[in-house]
Amino acid sequence: MTTILEAKNLKVIRGGSLLVDVPDLAIIEGETLSLIGPNGAGKTTLLQALSYLSKPSAGEVLFRGRVVGPDYGALEFRRNLTMVFQEPLLFDTTVFNNVVSGLKMRGRGGKESRQIARAQLERFGIAHLGERSAKTLSGGEAQRTSLARAFALSPEVLFLDEPFAALDPPTRESIVADLEKVLAETKTTTIMATHDRNEALRLSDRIAVMEGGRIAQIDRPSIVMNRPVDEFVAHFVGTETILEGAVRETNETALFVSVDGSVIEVVGRGRVGEKVTVCIRPENVTLAIPDGTAKTSARNTFRGRIGRIIPLGLVHRVEIACGFPLVAFVTTHALEDLSLKEGDEVAASVKATAIHVIRKGGG
C-alpha cells in the first residue's frame, strides 16, 4: 500500500471563516475514497485544495512524498491529476476535440493523442458522437464526454466533484455503472465528493464523512455505516434511531444500556455508569405480531405501538413507540404479510450484535 497523495495540517480560510481543516489525510494508490457530508461541509473545497486548483491557506499537500510548491511545481503536480465536475464544462467545439483538449494542453497532441481520444470515446459509449458539436449533447452524453476527457489523460489521481448530481436517475445509473467498470479496469486512484451515500457505498474502498470542514470519520464503508464515531456521522449514514442512555450492567460480552427506562442489550464493552449513544439502523429492526410465542434469536424485543408508516419506494418506514422512539424499515411484502397498520401493537426485535454504541465517557 503506497500513499500517493497526502495532506498535512491542510487549512482553507476564506473571508475569515475556516472552510477546511484536515490535520492528516493519506490517499492510498489505487483506492477510491468518497467524501460525503451535507452541503457546506467542505467537500468541494477540500477537493480543490488537495488538487491545488485553489491554493490552500495553510498546510501541505504531498504527492508521492514530495511537497507541492517547494519540492514540486504546482503545474507539474496538476498535470498528474484531473477533475470532473457536476457540470460537464465542455468547450465550444466537437466532442472529439473536447476529449483531446487536455492532452493538447499537456503538450501531448498528435497522432497518439487522437488514438487515445478514440479509445476513450469508445470506452464511454460515445464514439458515434465524435464529430458532433458539444452544444448539441444531452446531459448524460455531455457528462460521458467530460469523463472521457478526464480518462484520456490517464490521471494518477482523479477528482470527481458530485459528477452525477445533475443527472436523471436512469442516466445516472448507467454512467455510474460505466465508471465503476472503468475504475476497476484502470485502478485509478479516485477521490469523489458526493452527498449521495449509496453512490459512495457502491464505488468506494473508503468513505470520509465531513462536517464543518473536518473529517469526522474515515474508514471502510461497512465500518462507517455500522460503527459511526459520533451522532452526526450516525445520522448522516442513515442511522434512524439514535438514543441517549447509560450503561447499567456489563458482562464479558455485552452491555445493558438503560434508555428511558427500557434496557437494551448490546454486544460490546463499556463501564457501568458510562454515558453512551445507542445507534440502531432501521434495516436491522424486524417486526412481528406480539402473541407472546414469537421466538427470535434477537435478545432485544420491545413491544410498542406503530405511530406512522411512510412508504419510501422499496421499503416502508415504520415509526414505533416502545418506551423510546424506534424506526424500522420493512418491505412492502412483510408489511402486508403482518397486515400492520398505524396504531397497531407490534413486537420489534434487534439483535444485540446489530446495535452500535458510541461511548461518551463519564460514570
> Least distance from C-beta 189 to other proteins, angstroms?
15
Residue number, 72 or 159, with CB nearest to other proteins: 159
> Least distance from C-beta 79 to other proteins, angstroms?
4
Residue number, 142 or 266, with CB nearest to other proteins: 142
Residue number, 13 or 53, with CB nearest to other proteins: 53
> Least distance from C-beta 106 to other proteins, angstroms?
4
207 sits near other proteins (criterion: CB under 8 A): no
> Least distance from C-beta 20 to other proteins, angstroms?
16
User: Residue 188 is placed in which grid cell?
Assistant: 485509478
Question: Which of 61, 142, 218, 280 touches other proteins (CB under 8 A)?
Answer: 142
> Least distance from C-beta 204 to other proteins, angstroms?
21
For residues 132 and 96, give the distance between their C-alpha atoms in angstroms, rounded to a whole number: 8
Question: Which of 9, 23, 71, 105 touches other proteins (CB under 8 A)?
Answer: 105
102 sits near other proteins (criterion: CB under 8 A): yes
For residues 187 and 181, give the distance between their C-alpha atoms in angstroms, rounded to a whole number: 10
> Least distance from C-beta 172 to other proteins, angstroms?
15
350 sits near other proteins (criterion: CB under 8 A): no
Which residue type does 298 have? A
Residue number, 119 or 309, with CB nearest to other proteins: 119
For residues 124 and 81, give the distance between their C-alpha atoms in angstroms, rounded to a whole number: 19
72 sits near other proteins (criterion: CB under 8 A): no
Question: Which of 63, 124, 151, 159 touches other proteins (CB under 8 A)?
Answer: 159
Residues 122-141 that bind other proteins (CB under 8 A): 133-135, 137, 139
92 sits near other proteins (criterion: CB under 8 A): yes
Q: How many residues bind other proteins (CB under 8 A)?
A: 30
> Least distance from C-beta 100 to other proteins, angstroms?
11
Residues 44-63 that bind other proteins (CB under 8 A): 48, 51, 53-54
Q: In this structure, are residues 68 and 78 in contact, taking their beta carbons and an 8 Å threshold? A: no
Q: In this structure, are residues 7 and 57 in contact, taking their beta carbons and an 8 Å threshold? A: no
Question: Which of 29, 31, 60, 87 touches other proteins (CB under 8 A)?
Answer: 87
> Least distance from C-beta 122 to other proteins, angstroms?
20
106 Cβ neighbours under 8 A, 6+ residues apart: 79, 153
Q: Which of 310, 318, 306, 311 is nearest to 344 (CA)?
A: 306
Question: Which of 88, 163, 221, 228 touches other proteins (CB under 8 A)?
Answer: 88
Question: Which of 8, 11, 79, 118 touches other proteins (CB under 8 A)?
Answer: 79
Residue number, 32 or 82, with CB nearest to other proteins: 82
> Least distance from C-beta 34 to other proteins, angstroms?
19
User: Residue 303 is placed in which grid cell?
Assistant: 413491544
Question: Which of 71, 91, 168, 177 touches other proteins (CB under 8 A)?
Answer: 91
For residues 183 and 325, give the distance between their C-alpha atoms in angstroms, rounded to a whole number: 42
Q: Which of 24, 22, 75, 73 is nearest to 53 (CA)?
A: 75
User: Residue 159 is placed in which grid cell?
Assistant: 477528482
**Residues of this chain that bind other proteins (CB under 8 A):** 48, 51, 53-54, 75, 78-79, 81-83, 85, 87-92, 101-102, 105-106, 133-135, 137, 139, 142, 149, 153, 159
